[in-house]
Amino acid sequence: MLPLYRPSLTDSYGRQIKDLRISITDRCNFRCVYCMPESGVEWKKKSEILSYEELTYLAEIFVSLGVTKLRVTGGEPLLRRGVINFIRSLASIQGLEDLALTTNAYFLPEYAERLAKSGLKRISISIDSLKPKAFELLTKVNALGRVLEGIDAAQKYNLTPIKINMVVMRHINESEIVDFASFAREKNLIARYIEYMPLDGPGEWSRDLVVSGREIFEKINAVYPLMLLSPNHKSETAKRFGFADGAGGEIGIIAPVTEPFCGACSRIRLTADGQIRTCLFSLSEHNLRDVLRSGASLEQIRQFIINAVLKKEDGHKINKPDFVAPERTMSCIGG
């Protein structure tokens, strides 16, 4: 174990960085419309992608700098061979408090048991429709059945609480907002609604396709009266609601466009090709991979990370006239 370097990793706005999202692959078996073009993107070459040894070593360094929560993402992380052993190696990092994974659940029926046994704490599942046809239109894959099986498997092996994340898009899946709440009640899940963000490869995002957090709340509250819950921690991105009638399940509303929460942001990202992204919407990156592969010492790597965090943006500029969407698509950032 690496000695704790210092109590916290803080940016120039005084925000403590506690969460690292590690993308382990840019590949995915889905083509979600808000994430990547139907034709896909040019995959990174194997040599550009960090090995599991490199990823584990860097994760240890981030934890020694004060990161306490790791989230494994992709592309689709369960597509990368060896992911179970990787999760196991992350789970053994001392000082780590939370280890989560974000997946499209397609491979969960086969992986859930081994993920649970490897030390994974909890799971978030991206699912944007509960209707087979609409699901296929949105992901270009006829796989709703498998994804629902995946949710059952995650529940069976206690990868709980399970969050199901829906990106709400006007005229596309907004009609299913209440269905998702019903599903969360029925299955005792956390249904999280995410406002559509301009991170889609095809560049089809526009403000009038955004269904605001307020609207989402009102649609659900009209059918299932909601009560506000306190946040789990101060940098929680979702506003949490319980069902006033005491039913199981929970609602989370994430409104980065209409109610930005950047002021309390505690997140940074490491892409599969080893770039530090200090914000989801960063227009510049910090090439940690080449520093690592240049034979840099532990101290040099730490200093590189500390300097990168000191350059963390104050927040996204989506609501600013000069907003520029990042070139990287969501599939190459990892959400």
Residues forming the site for ligand SF4 (CB under 6 A): 256, 261-262, 265, 267, 279-281, 315-316
Nearest residue (CB) to ligand SF4, 219 versus 286 = 286
Q: Which two tokens stand for residue 226?
A: 């909601």
| Beta carbon of residue 320, minimum distance to ligand SF4 (angstroms, whole number) | 12
Give the Cα separation of 81 and 177 in Å (integer).
35
| Beta carbon of residue 196, minimum distance to ligand SF4 (angstroms, whole number) | 14
Helix (H) or strand (E) holding 224: none
Residue found by looking up tokens 């599991």 in the block? 52
Per DSSP, the residues of 73-132 read ESS-GGGSTTHHHHHHHHHT-TT--EEEEEE-STTHHHHHHHHHHTT--EEEEE---SSH
| Beta carbon of residue 167, minimum distance to ligand SF4 (angstroms, whole number) | 15
| Beta carbon of residue 237, minimum distance to ligand SF4 (angstroms, whole number) | 7
Nearest residue (CB) to ligand SF4, 20 versus 162 = 20
CA 175 to chain centre: 24
Phi-psi region of 205 (alpha: psi -120 to 50; beta: other; left: phi over 0): beta
| Beta carbon of residue 267, minimum distance to ligand SF4 (angstroms, whole number) | 5
Nearest residue (CB) to ligand SF4, 183 versus 281 = 281
Helix (H) or strand (E) holding 158: none
* Spatial contact of 270 and 57, defined as CB atoms under 8 Å apart: no
Q: b vs e for 42-77, b when ≥16 Cβ sit within 10 Å of the residue's Cβ?
A: ebbeeeebbebeebbbbbbbbbbbbbbbbbbbbbbb
E strand spans, 69-111? 69-73, 98-103
Nearest residue (CB) to ligand SF4, 147 versus 265 = 265
Collapsing DSSP to helix, strand or coil, 73 comes out as: strand
| Beta carbon of residue 318, minimum distance to ligand SF4 (angstroms, whole number) | 8
Give the Cα separation of 57 and 75 in Å (integer).
21
| Beta carbon of residue 315, minimum distance to ligand SF4 (angstroms, whole number) | 5
* Spatial contact of 109 and 153, defined as CB atoms under 8 Å apart: yes
Nearest residue (CB) to ligand SF4, 67 versus 120 = 67
Contacts of 294 (CB under 8 A, 6+ apart): none
* Spatial contact of 151 and 105, defined as CB atoms under 8 Å apart: yes
| Beta carbon of residue 335, minimum distance to ligand SF4 (angstroms, whole number) | 10
Give the Cα separation of 174 and 170 in Å (integer).
5
Nearest residue (CB) to ligand SF4, 150 versus 252 = 252
| Beta carbon of residue 200, minimum distance to ligand SF4 (angstroms, whole number) | 15
Nearest residue (CB) to ligand SF4, 10 versus 182 = 10
Say which DSSP state 77 is in. G
Nearest residue (CB) to ligand SF4, 176 versus 200 = 200
Nearest residue (CB) to ligand SF4, 184 versus 268 = 268
Cis peptide upstream of residue 75 (ω within 30 degrees of 0): yes
